[in-house]
Amino acid sequence: MFTHNPFAELALVVPSISIKFFVIIMMSLVILSTALDMIHKKNVIYFFRNAKKAKKSAKKELSTVKKTAVVLKTVAHDIATTSELGMGKRRLAHVLGMYGTILFWVASVALIFKYTDGSTAPSYLTIIWHVGAILTCLGGYWFWFFLRVDVSAEANPWYRIITADLFVLALLACSTFGLAWSYAQFNDIVGLSYLFLILFIISNLVLFGGVYWSKFAHMFYKPGAAIQKNLAEADGSRDNLPPPADAPERFGLGIKREQPKHY
């Protein structure tokens, strides 16, 4: 199954151009919805105003080389490894989900735009597609059932759903139904194959069409916020916050009663 390209089989039933057009529509929805979200929440205005304010209170002026080094370090450390979550289960679940999703999406685009015209996709690409979906499910379901703050810390039931959960649930549905569709198609289970295909399409519509209402756009804001924060640390402006105190931390013996969960 891992060397099977489900999109190639789909192209025998649905015109290849229609599949490609669907992907383009999904990408357009992300761009449009993110732009609307930025206009509504005024995130870009906030970032520019904050950067302007930080520049005025900066203790030193950073060179282009220094700024580039800070940005690259932020991307490699803070963004690529989600270091703000600390060393623990929550960070591992996020990393699994993040890289699984990236592999899943990149492989999907490659398989659809290059290997739905009759040519055979290389096995490594179909393996990446399936492994990406599996990693997304592993990280996503682990987070959903065991690591969510409102579940593990606030004792809410796992099935409690709010608007902010739209992204992770749609992403999990997309990966799960994609794997199920590939399995059913590979084993010639025609009825289930069409059922899972329909569910896969619906979950994609919810995932990419619901950007405005979900935390999808959050993925674009976090890197910018992390870069701005580290640049403020480097130039001494510190987002107008006081420097850390030199006094030792004193929390009392009560802090040893429970291990921190890094929320």
Give the pLDDT confidence score for residue 247 in this predicted structure.
Answer: 65
Segment 11-38 shows an average pLDDT of 88
Of the two residues 187 and 221, the one the predictor is more confident about is: 187
* Separation between Cα atoms, residue 242 and residue 172, nearest integer Å: 41
Segment 202-226 shows an average pLDDT of 80
- Among the listed residues 159, 157, 179, 182, the one whose alpha carbon sits nearest the alpha carbon of residue 169: 159
Please report the domains of the chain, with CATH numbers, ordered by start residue.
6-40+86-220 (1.20.950)
CA-based torsion, 180, 182, 186, 191: positive or negative: positive
DSSP letters for 149-172: HHHHTT---TT---GGGHHHHHHH
pLDDT tens readout for residues 208-217 = 988 877 777 7
Question: Sorting pLDDT into bands at 50, 70 and 90, what band is 159?
Answer: confident
Q: Which of 49-53, 119-123, 165-169, 248-252 has the lowest mean pLDDT?
A: 248-252
pLDDT tens readout for residues 229-262 = 787 777 777 766 766 666 666 666 665 666 665 5
Does position 201 have pLDDT exceeding 90, yes or no? Answer: yes
